[in-house]
Structure 1
Amino acid sequence: MENKRKHRANSCLLSLRLLIGKKILGAVGPHGVRVSSSRMIKGPCAAPELSALKYVAEHTSIPVPKVFNTHYYDDDIYIEMEYVRGMSLEAAWYHGHLSQDQKKYIITEVAGYISQLRKLEPPREGIVASASFNEALDHRVGSDSFGPFTSHKGFHSYLRANVPIEDCNKVIGPEVTKCHSRRYRSCFTHADIAPRNIIVDNGKVSAIVDWQFGGWYPEYWEYTKAHYGQIDCPEWYDGLENAMERYDDELKAEQTLWRRLDEPQLLWRGREDLIPTLDLE
């Protein structure tokens, strides 16, 4: 009974803080509200975002919002985090707030941060999982969490809706067969590197945000996902192409899957027992 009262009181306090914050200080993006000059609360959030923020802050020098507290309301997670001053790279780029030299510098910064992620050691090669080795989330796959997977082979089978690799040429395309037959390293991945998720101030990156898709994926995933839902900003993509490791074959394979089997999770409904799970024991 005492725990229920405490939970109810905390939920009421959270609701009040969000209401007052939104009215006085305003919203931050579609899911955030400023609650003080230096803090905001974002939610509802998926568990992978919380674990990714903490993991990246602990293991890299990548600027990410500091996590102060975690709140739970109606089974949803709300993260109280640092409010990072600045504007999105997307807004700065489109509205002419950056010089050409500043654009090049920012792209180099971002490439360096991606390199830090790629140097992190996974607990086991081949896994596809969140930072805490639990279910991952990526809207390229579907709106719900998925995995964790024991191997890239299992993850690739999931992306193909279980089409056997020997039938892949005929059913999906040879470019997919080619890439899904290769071996890859597991790399820690933001999985949504885009100008909207990069905060800049005075011509430098002040934070990389929105880590809800962050986790362990095949090494090509960062590159291909950077092209998923591509925005009309050729300068950004040209710069990124020159600054990070390219996976042209994998991009072709993913583009085929985006056209033919985007969000394959929908095809797995009712067949979840066939999906391999991760066991780190």
Structure 2
Amino acid sequence: MPIPESIVSFYLRTRLWLGKKRYGTFSPSVVRVSSTRLIKGPCFPAELEGLRFVTQHTTIPVPRVHRTYPANEGRVYIEMDYIKGDTLQEVWRNPNFTSTNKQAVINEVASYIDQLRQLTPPQEGVVASAELGECYDIRVGSWPFGPFKTVNEFHDFLRGTIPIEDTTKVYGEAVTKCHERSGSYYRTCFTHADIAKRNIIVRDGKVAGIVDWQFSGWFPEYWDYTKAFYTLYNIPDWYNGLKEVMRRYDDELDAERVLWKRFDQPGDLLRTRYYGGSRNG
């Protein structure tokens, strides 16, 4: 017999309250609830799908999902492992964290990204969550988007549906150069989409975990590279290290930087067209 939703909700609220009292709040959406677990939420389904998919198909150290709790609008609270260690962001400027330590971590992260890139998509060209549902990425907007059957459809969305023949006039040649390529030009790769120091947990000089898979899914092969630069912070040694170990997509980064400046978060601006003026419209 299933447990009534009201009891599940009360149990969740109680655990979150006790966790905050004992451990404080990691972030508005993350609460540590025991020595080995935390609860994150509410999350869009793409994050849950991504965690389970990566756990099943790679050796990347990610939090293991233990259970979920329903939330509003199809979201979920995810109870997962708490990974002990410090974020790379916390230790990066520590004088005891040497350039050798930094390079070793960057190399390790690159090897994990390579594992993601070797995974075979269930449908070539699709831009979608791990299970071919809606994606979520703050670069695109505040709400889930897609899925898209082809990379060209995704690019069209990023441009705000501006026809490719008008793209140079609106955005310049950098965007046209990448978006006019045929749909088969770009492979679809599984992508974390937020490779930032705050999402890398280190312990004893090694990567203990990669967290925050909320933006993960099947994206054009350049997406992990360009998204790594989607930030207000300029940390030369970090970005130079990534450029040395990741496959570079300089043309695509140029195009994305134009779109970040001219038409960032297109999903929010096009929401009326795609969602009828409301999330459930």
**TM-score, length of structure 1 as denominator length:** 0.93
The AA in structure 1 aligned to 2:24 is G
The alignment partner of 1:113 has SS state of helix
Q: Which residue, 37, 41, 44 being the options, matches 2:42? A: 44
Q: Which residue number in structure 2 is paired with residue 72 of structure 1?
A: 70
Whether the 8 Å CA contact 2:143–2:268 is kept in 1: the answer is no
Q: Which residue number in structure 2 is paired with residue 62 of structure 1?
A: 60
CA shift, 1:79, in A, is 0.5
The alignment partner of 1:85 has SS state of coil
The alignment partner of 1:28 has SS state of coil
Q: Which residue number in structure 1 is paired with residue 99 of structure 2?
A: 100
CA shift, 1:250, in A, is 0.4
Count of aligned pairs:
272
Q: Which moved more, 1:216-225 or 1:5-14?
A: 5-14
Q: Which residue, 2, 9, 12 being the options, matches 2:10? A: 12
Q: Which residue number in structure 2 is paired with residue 215 of structure 1?
A: 217
Q: Which residue number in structure 2 is paired with residue 235 of structure 1?
A: 237
1:139 aligns with 2:138: yes
Matches within 5 A, 1:254-265: 254-265=256-267
Whether the 8 Å CA contact 2:151–2:220 is kept in 1: the answer is yes
Q: Which moved more, 1:179-188 or 1:262-271?
A: 262-271
Whether the 8 Å CA contact 2:39–2:77 is kept in 1: the answer is yes
Q: Measure the CA separation in 1 of the matches of 2:6 and 2:258.
A: 49
Q: Measure the CA separation in 2 of the matches of 1:102 and 1:124.
A: 39
CA 1:157/1:73 → structure 2, altered by over 3 Å: closer, same or farther? Answer: closer
Q: Measure the CA separation in 2 of the matches of 1:96 and 1:181.
A: 46
CA 1:40/1:97 → structure 2, altered by over 3 Å: closer, same or farther? Answer: farther
The alignment partner of 1:41 has SS state of strand
CA 1:15/1:255 → structure 2, altered by over 3 Å: closer, same or farther? Answer: same
Matches within 5 A, 1:107-186: 107-182=106-181, 183-186=185-188
Q: CA RMSD in A?
A: 1.5
CA shift, 1:146, in A, is 0.2
The AA in structure 2 aligned to 1:259 is K
Q: Measure the CA separation in 1 of the matches of 2:133 and 2:192.
A: 16
CA shift, 1:100, in A, is 1.5
CA shift, 1:105, in A, is 0.4
Whether the 8 Å CA contact 2:103–2:241 is kept in 1: the answer is yes
The AA in structure 2 aligned to 1:29 is S
Q: Measure the CA separation in 2 of the matches of 1:264 and 1:127.
A: 19
Q: Which moved more, 1:67-76 or 1:172-181?
A: 67-76
Q: Which residue number in structure 1 is paired with residue 227 of structure 2?
A: 225
**TM-score, length of structure 2 as denominator length:** 0.93
Q: Measure the CA separation in 1 of the matches of 2:128 and 2:71.
A: 25
CA shift, 1:97, in A, is 4.5
CA shift, 1:15, in A, is 0.3
CA shift, 1:273, in A, is 7.7
Q: Which residue number in structure 1 is paired with residue 193 of structure 2?
A: 191
The alignment partner of 1:216 has SS state of strand
Whether the 8 Å CA contact 2:46–2:216 is kept in 1: the answer is yes
Q: Measure the CA separation in 2 of the matches of 1:74 and 1:271.
A: 23
Q: Which moved more, 1:94-103 or 1:156-165?
A: 94-103
Q: Measure the CA separation in 2 of the matches of 1:186 and 1:238.
A: 25
Q: Which moved more, 1:130-139 or 1:225-234?
A: 225-234
CA shift, 1:198, in A, is 0.4
The AA in structure 2 aligned to 1:250 is E
The alignment partner of 1:125 has SS state of coil
CA shift, 1:101, in A, is 1.1
Q: Which moved more, 1:20-29 or 1:45-54?
A: 20-29
CA 1:31/1:273 → structure 2, altered by over 3 Å: closer, same or farther? Answer: closer
Structure 1: gaps spanning 5 or more residues: 275-281
